[in-house]
Chain A
Amino acid sequence: SYELTQPPSVSVSPGQTASISCSGDKLGSKYSCWYQQKPGQSPVLVIYQDTKRPSGIPERFSGSYSGNTATLTISGTQAMDEADYYCQAWDSSTVVFGGGTKLTVL
């Protein structure tokens, strides 16, 4: 079955840039997206189709990709950005999530 690999945790200082990676076989040939999930809340879509940002998502959230790795970047990270982040792709008509990355803003 298809797998997406994320680092379990990433730490960043307030105001700095956080980058979270997501890798998978031939991920470069698929669209990836990213969700933010805060404790006790439902996930929120923050990036879709690799680089697009839904309405209402701050500009500090951006997505990119290189080869078979997608990256979520948060510029000028704020305390409110502390959350779990999940990448997701679609393989063989099946929805696949990465294992999630806990972003800590120290």
Chain B
Amino acid sequence: QVQLQESGPGLVKPSETLSLTCTVSGGSISNYYWSWIRQPPGKELESIGYIYYSGSTNYNPSLKSRVTMSVDTSKNQFSLKMSSVTAADTAVYYCARGQRVGNTGYHLDYWGQGTLVTVSS
């Protein structure tokens, strides 16, 4: 059974960089897409972007200027960095495994438990 676990600081100061890591266990990170999704308290899900195990990325256009994703296949981990955070970035951040279906579909079949990141001084 594939399991994902997010880790990183739960509190980040405004204007600083949010950094999270997702560790994948029970399966290989190879040959899959890996997504980051966030959910502000009481609000809907928002895709931040995804990274293929080879390192190619795709980011949400609204966040693209502040987001960097990376993957470390040797550790079965992938990471998210988001710069210049504000209170609007306060959210539960989830990592998930993506399954791409040709050029017309993508779904997330395994999710981490999520980690709350609060942006506050």
Contacts and interface: CB of A to CB of B under 8 A. Distances in A.
A45 B108 contact: yes
A54 B44 CA distance: 23
Given A94-B60, A97-B46, A30 B105 contact: yes
Contact of B111 (A1, A43, A98): A43
Interface residues of B, number: 27
Contacts of A48: 99, 105, 107, 109
Contacts of A42: 94, 111-114
A29 B102 CA distance: 12
Interface in B76-121: 94, 98-101, 104-109, 111-114
Interface string A62-106: 000000000000000000000000101110011111111000000
25 contacts: A31-B106, A32-B105, A33-B107, A35-B45, A35-B108, A37-B45, A42-B111, A45-B108, A48-B99, A48-B105, A49-B101, A86-B45, A88-B45, A88-B107, A89-B105, A90-B100, A90-B105, A90-B106, A93-B58, A94-B61, A95-B37, A97-B37, A97-B47, A98-B44, A100-B45
Interface of B: 35, 37, 44-47, 49-50, 58, 60-62, 94, 98-101, 104-109, 111-114
Given A31-B105, A98-B44, 14 more contacts: A1-B61, A31-B101, A32-B105, A33-B107, A33-B108, A42-B111, A44-B111, A48-B107, A49-B107, A88-B45, A94-B61, A95-B35, A97-B37, A97-B45
